[in-house]
Structure 1
């Protein structure tokens, strides 16, 4: 018994014994915190650099095909000029055209023409969206209207816009309304078909889920069908813009209103005076505007697809 008592008295207290679990944890905690902070900083730095690199790679991957296409087009153009197929005054090369283009883009008359053309394009496209959404919404919801007007909408979409101008001039004379009339007829069917396709391809399980949640009528259409059909609707808007832009250029060539100056009027005047370099420079401007707007629609389309989980 004495031996046992001495052993217990000689043993150090538990809270003062060296190397206990409490002391080890207390010593390791600050070190672990420092390590976690350092790792977090390295991760943030790596992610930031990775984001910058990914953005640069994405920008370059989107830019180099267009730059390559421009270089190929310029080389092909210059090769045709070198071949002697046409006289230089009939078909000037890039070296003769680009100085003329620079003179045009630095003149106030040119920018007034661009402003008028873009104003017509914006108004016509806005009207086309309004008409296309109304028609597409009605046709997609009512089978009777789909049977009656579904094929007609597709037929209007395939009809050349220039074929409408005799009727437009007869109805509205040489006026802004004649141009806008043809722009709307050219663009609205594509927008309507885009909305109809989006509604048709809405997954049935989403429709059933919406009805279970109490969505009916306009609420179902507003909160479920329209968001689900947005990717196809954006594609319809993109195609509608292409038709609207083509219709507008045809209208400005055919319908010249008083002393107004637009891109179409400048193009027509250059043709009448055989100024081929001026004419090609205006065509380049029309092409560039169309490409820029198309790229903006592409950015919107990719953003919507990423949001809807359709693209990485």
Structure 2
């Protein structure tokens, strides 16, 4: 038997299209049920539970149409993305540095690591009052909460990934002359990249939720949180639901992007195969 016969041929992913089809079918089913409850059966008044058409009208006006919201939703999306990306990048930089230190120095890992694990269990909204009192009712308070919520998962992920590097790689690196910082940067850190990417995806999820929670309490700035507050103050449930949908779509798109990057890296590292 030849080597070519022993090597499995690359396989495609026929299940991916099937999964997308099921997801699309499920979405259409939910919209159909929503339309049935609101437009056909009229189980709730429009001001309590608006129809899909009313929510779409708010989205259309808010993004590119003319009306009461006239582009305000688009400005809110831009403002929120600017804040969350700024806070997320800072959190990734700080979390990576602290995670490297915790992975290299056990006393720091056993102390600071335990503290970070405890803080991570606290809901992000609980830090908003402290941020407002400490930094004021401004954008810096929102960035503080976003950075905090993104920093902790990254630091813990980097530290844990370094500890989970197979011992054989450590031995091989030392055998080839890598020591100290060289071993960390040339062997341990590259080997931990797939696990670190998982932490980056978790950090994005935490940072995005923290952003919206913080924006709810800051007025005068274009943000998705402000749109939720405007909808509440004006009893515009359609605006609230349209903003919630936008928040979910943006969060899901960024998560899908990071998930695709993670999958690509895992395949390059031989940790995942196409099915």
| TM-score interval for Structure 1 and Structure 2 normalised by the shorter chain | 0.7 to 0.9
Give the Cα–Cα distance (whole angstroms) in 1 for the partners of residues 41 and 206 of structure 2.
35
Give the Cα–Cα distance (whole angstroms) in 2 for the partners of residues 161 and 129 of structure 1.
17
Q: How does 1:163-178 map to 2 (within 5 A)?
A: 163-178=126-141
- The structure with the greater share of residues assigned to helix is 1
- 1:139 Cα deviation after fit: 1.2
CA distances 1:97-128 after superposition (whole Å, capped 9, x unpaired):
22222222214332222111100011000111
- Counterpart of 2:60 in structure 1 is 102
- 1:195 Cα deviation after fit: 1.1
- 1:58 Cα deviation after fit: 5.9
Which structure's CA Rg is the greater one?
A: 1
Distance 1:203 1:175, change over 3 A: same
- Counterpart of 1:296 in structure 2 is 257
| TM-score, normalization by structure 1 | 0.78
CA distances 1:1-31 after superposition (whole Å, capped 9, x unpaired):
xxxxxxxxxxxxxxxxxxxxxxxxxxxxxxx
1:68 aligns with 2:25: yes
- Counterpart of 1:129 in structure 2 is 92
**Is this contact kept in 2: 1:112–1:262, CA < 8 A?**
yes
Unaligned runs of at least 5 residues, structure 1? 1-46
4+ residue stretches of structure 1 with deviation over 6 A? none
Distance 1:67 1:252, change over 3 A: same
Report how many aligned residue pairs link the two structures.
Answer: 259
1:198 aligns with 2:161: yes
**Is this contact kept in 1: 2:59–2:73, CA < 8 A?**
no
Unaligned runs of at least 5 residues, structure 2? 1-8, 65-69
Give the Cα–Cα distance (whole angstroms) in 1 for the partners of residues 37 and 190 of structure 2.
49
1:260 aligns with 2:221: yes
**Is this contact kept in 1: 2:132–2:141, CA < 8 A?**
yes
**Is this contact kept in 2: 1:253–1:268, CA < 8 A?**
yes
- Counterpart of 1:10 in structure 2 is none
For the aligned residue pairs, the C-alpha RMSD in angstroms reads 2.1
Distance 1:277 1:293, change over 3 A: same
Q: Choose which of 272, 275, 280 in structure 1 pairs with 2:236.
A: 275
Give the SS at the match of 1:193. Answer: helix
**Is this contact kept in 2: 1:253–1:265, CA < 8 A?**
yes
Distance 1:75 1:157, change over 3 A: farther
- Counterpart of 1:13 in structure 2 is none
- 1:136 Cα deviation after fit: 1.1
CA distances 1:128-152 after superposition (whole Å, capped 9, x unpaired):
1012112211111111112212221
1:92 aligns with 2:50: yes
| TM-score, normalization by structure 2 | 0.88
Structure with larger RCO (C-alpha < 8 A, sep 6+): 2
